[in-house]
Amino acid sequence: DTAVSQTPKYLVTQMGNDKSIKCEQNLGHDTMYWYKQDSKKFLKIMFSYNNKELIINETVPNRFSPKSPDKAHLNLHINSLELGDSAVYFCASSQDRGVLFGQYFGPGTRLTVT
Amino acid sequence: DQQVKQNSPSLSVQEGRISILNCDYTNSMFDYFLWYKKYPAEGPTFLISISSIKDKNEDGRFTVFLNKSAKHLSLHIVPSQPGDSAVYFCAVGSGNTGKLIFGQGTTLQVKP
């Protein structure tokens, strides 16, 4: 039983396209996150939703738009993809803010923009 | 501007010995400190955490030490096992925001 799942696992697309990555968690958590791991392996938070409300919105281009239809889902839509968007994107979830008991990560989506 | 640094990109130890992974942070306002483990092609997995009111937390073979005055935390794994070979990330956060800031990871190799 996968706790945090992401689709697709790999995504190859051309510059200028629009794409979405989906995330679902079955842990009953109330907070979900999107992280980006760049080529230097830094894992950086992009967004966080708590009970469908946006609570963290880091300095991310507004081409990136998260959408949370319910507590168990947090999707990431990216418009006008650029080469620099190539990275691994991780979804995560936690109960409350998850700083002491950790956040549970999905397997990642490797996005390659050509 | 890196707020969390793991200065050793890699570490190699013999099975059965102790592995010590280190992490430094810059902001004394952080009050939670975590370690994650990551295998290739998988997401990070939460290992152990500590709050700023403690200086040590132990869970089986894993112990995290926090030195607030030095803004330094470390993860001790003893005894190390080949299955511990992975990338280890430290992360720091604030209970108010829920935001975690990660280091860039240390690759641990445990040799049989």
Chain A residues whose CB is inside 8 A of the B104 CB are 40-42
Q: How confident is the model at residue B96 (pLDDT cuts 50, 70, 90)?
A: low
Farthest-apart Cα atoms in chain A, separation: 40
**B98, A48: Cβ pair inside 8 Å?**
yes
Residue from A10, A27, A43 to probe the interface with B (highest B Cβ count within 10 Å): A43
Per-residue pLDDT for A21 more than 90?
yes
Sign of CA dihedral B86, B89, B90, B93: negative
Grouping H, G, I as helix, E, B as strand and the rest as coil, residue B104 is coil
Chain B residues whose CB is inside 8 A of the A42 CB are 102, 104
Per-residue pLDDT for B59 more than 80?
yes
Cα separations (Å) of B89 from A82, A99, B4, B76, B84?
28, 14, 10, 13, 13
Average pLDDT of chain B is: 94
Q: Please report where in the chains the tokens 């980006």 appear, as a residue.
A: A36
Q: What is residue A98's predicted lDDT score, i.e. its pLDDT?
A: 67
* pLDDT mean over A105-109: 96
Per-residue pLDDT for A50 more than 90?
no
Q: Which helix (H) or strand (E) is A67 found in, with range?
A: strand A64-70
Q: How confident is the model at residue A42 (pLDDT cuts 50, 70, 90)?
A: confident
Chain B residues whose CB is inside 8 A of the A45 CB are 99-101
What whole-number distance in Å separates Cα of residue B48 and Cα of residue B90?
10
Q: What is residue B99's predicted lDDT score, i.e. its pLDDT?
A: 86
Average pLDDT of chain A is: 92
Q: DSSP assignment, residue A85?
A: G
What whole-number distance in Å separates Cα of residue B99 and Cα of residue B3?
13
| pLDDT above 70 coverage of chain A, percent | 97
The string of pLDDT tens digits covering residues A64-93 is 999 999 999 999 999 999 999 999 999 999
**A56, B99: Cβ pair inside 8 Å?**
yes
Quote the strand ranges of chain B, DSSP E: 4-5, 10-14, 19-25, 32-38, 45-51, 56-59, 62-67, 72-77, 86-93, 100-102, 106-111
